[in-house]
Structure 1
């Protein structure tokens, strides 16, 4: 049986740290409103993921990048800035969107993928990001995932974590109904949905720290780091063979 694993990309293999730093440098006036760049960046990302998902669930798919850029002013308003356009401009938003494309792979991400490939695993990736951006992340971080093995929500027209998105991934890969494959992510909602769509699941706490099994359910593998997660997946699959 072929050994197949699908990774989430942004948040899992790729860190947001560069983006948070870019916000701090571009918008020094945030401190006057008692806002940290990290918290604003987190709120912006989380709000965009929510609205992106809600739109997809309602049958109106809008690319994540479009949703993300458009929501900036709403997020500032919700954070208590009564006149958002007085502390940031449209040019600032465009610049931050460019910086988001420069995010870097996490420490251990390359070793994680290399470990799996060295043990004869076929590695895929599934993302709500646009293809050009995520291919850039992989190129800059020397991540060995073939472009033909990257599946984007933009291309299938359904956003994660809709269960039919994971079904489409299985179809894209050519997995039969009962064929086993793994899904790895640092988002609890992502591995939860993948698990309910027939995947074995690997959850890395590098992003969210807490597994929250009582909310998202139990993953087959849990690890604090990406390399440890890869090693656990390899070992668990061997034990089950």
Structure 2
């Protein structure tokens, strides 16, 4: 990775990706507001949906904070902290979008007097848990084989592959859950297709977040190597 690429990674994580995702999230929140305009009364909306939507709005607004940090830090420690923050916020923003779209179906159901808390809580928790497994898979992928336990290099590499496979399989449970959900949840106002849309968004979110983590790690490595090169240059000059 060149210095220019390092700068690009920093800037891309700072803007405009996270902000674009936040705007899309807010758009879907506004779309949810139309449901209230067409019949759903606030007092009839489930508290768990209102609370989750409020949380989603907060996350979306926080996504604009990176715009305040225009200059890339020259200190490695500050660079790591800031890039980690940008990466985490970008990933959370993408995940947040999937939950926002998922809620739309349950608002539509509430508009028709149907309350599906069990479906919502199972679906939401499954998404959260599987996102966690997906992140664990990515962290395992980026971890050096030498850091795994084993008597030989092959043992360590094999252990890493086992963990990778395990976390990947566990992260895909969410798709099984969405398939089951699609065929079992009531088709309120012919809007059950929303579950399919959410499934596609979940897959896209996983791919996107994997790329964010990969690019972030490359930027960490490049910045650290650049610092070592500068220190060596100063030492030789002295």
TM value normalised by structure 2: 0.31
Q: Larger % of strand: which? A: 1
Q: Larger % of helix: which? A: 2
Question: Greater CA radius of gyration, 1 or 2?
Answer: 2
Q: Which has the higher contact order (CA 8 A, sep 6+)?
A: 2
